[in-house]
Amino acid sequence: MRAGAWEEIGVGFGYKTAWLAVPGAGSGEVADALGLIGRVAMDWETGTEAAYRRGVFVASPVDGWTMAHGRIHLADGLEADGPALLSWLGSLGLRLGDLQYFHTDRIGELHAWARVEAGRVVRAYCYDGSRGDVPLHLGEPTGIERQLGVGLRGLEDGTEHWTDSDWDDWHAAMPHEQHVMTIARHWGICPLDLPEPPPTPHGIHGFPPGTE
């Protein structure tokens, strides 16, 4: 990790990656739900660096939350914007009950968030800036989304008749990575709010089934 990056991104992840936040579950329980293989115990810094390259790091719990992140391999072949994401989140919900999912990528402007309660996906939203599309829009926006003014609009009918001003209004309602962080914070926990590696036991690094 380059010099200064640790201070820039808190405990080392949040930007340009995807992560889960699971309340009331241990790291082993989350790793089991993800089906991780090839598990190795790692501290926060080592596990975070590894998961930005390959695989998934399931951190030890902090303030009652367990976070797991993987830039590429949170699940094998998972896309942030399709039905497969909802199916995967639903399957995790059957095992873990409640959980949250977040994804940010400033390069392609792909930003997503989802919430599972009692095993059911109750809210999911994804904006794909590279395609100028909102391929996923499920459930009602939460209070923080309404406060931020994001997660409210999809790609609506009649766009072929929109003026430049209409498109400007639409793009202004689309999220960026800081919106994702704020939503995570208000829903429960944001990794950027932890200023240094917590003094907790080692977490688990591994790979989801099907990962080369």
Report whether 119 contacts 94 (CB < 8 A).
Answer: yes
Give the strand order in the sheet containing 18-23.
37-42, 203-207, 56-58, 65-70, 18-23, 99-105, 110-117, 120-128, 133-138
| Half-sphere exposure for 77 (CA within 13 Å, toward CB) | 6
Categorize the per-residue pLDDT at 196 as very low, low, confident or very high, splitting at 50, 70 and 90: low
Structure tokens at 161: 């008749």
Can you give the pLDDT at residue 38? 95
Q: What is the pLDDT of residues 130-181, one digit of tens each?
A: 888 899 999 999 999 999 999 998 877 777 888 889 888 888 888 999 999 9
Q: What is the pLDDT of residues 98-134, one digit of tens each?
A: 999 999 988 778 899 999 999 999 999 999 988 888 9
Average predicted confidence (pLDDT) for the chain:
87
134, 153, 170 from 156: Cα distances, Å:
9, 8, 10
Categorize the per-residue pLDDT at 4 as very low, low, confident or very high, splitting at 50, 70 and 90: very low
CA separation for the pair 36, 38 (Å, rounded): 7
Report whether pLDDT(1) > 70: no
Residue type, 50: A
Can you give the pLDDT at residue 83? 79
Report whether 60 contacts 45 (CB < 8 A).
Answer: no
Radius of gyration of the chain (CA): 17
* Model pTM score: 0.89
